[in-house]
């Protein structure tokens, strides 16, 4: 399942550089996550790096983009194949 950033985001800038897929970007008011690029760090790390560094715990699973581990792994493989 892709992640989303809630409106509790304080724009601290620590999540964006942690995303190995470049899924996090500055939106109009807060940071946002592109669900087409978010793999919850599957294929890169054991845990979601943005969640690990967020000081206000405002990054949660996106109920609109439910994916299991196999689907996230397949997305990771598509993203890395396109980049390479």
Domains, in order of start, for the chain: 3-83 (3.30.70.20)
Contact 42, 49 (CB under 8 A): no
pTM confidence score: 0.92
* pLDDT tens, position by position, 11-70: 999 999 999 999 999 999 999 999 999 999 999 999 999 999 999 999 999 999 999 999
Separation in Å, CA 26 to CA 11, 18, 21, 41, 77: 8, 14, 15, 19, 25
C-alpha separations of 32 from 9, 49, 53, 60, 64 in Å: 9, 15, 15, 12, 14
CB 30 within 8 A of CB 5: yes
Question: Which residues, at least 6 apart from 17, have a Cβ–Cβ distance to it below 8 Å?
Answer: none
Tokens read off for 60: 């949660």
């Amino acid at each position: 399942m892709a992640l989303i950033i809630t409106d509790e985001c304080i724009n601290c800038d620590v999540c964006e550089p942690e995303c190995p897929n470049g899924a996090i970007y500055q939106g109009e008011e807060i940071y946002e996550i592109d669900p087409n690029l978010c793999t919850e760090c599957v294929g890169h790390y054991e845990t979601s790096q943005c969640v690990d560094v967020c000081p206000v715990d405002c990054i949660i699973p996106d109920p609109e983009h439910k994916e299991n581990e196999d689907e996230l792994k397949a997305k990771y493989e598509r993203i890395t194949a396109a980049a390479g």
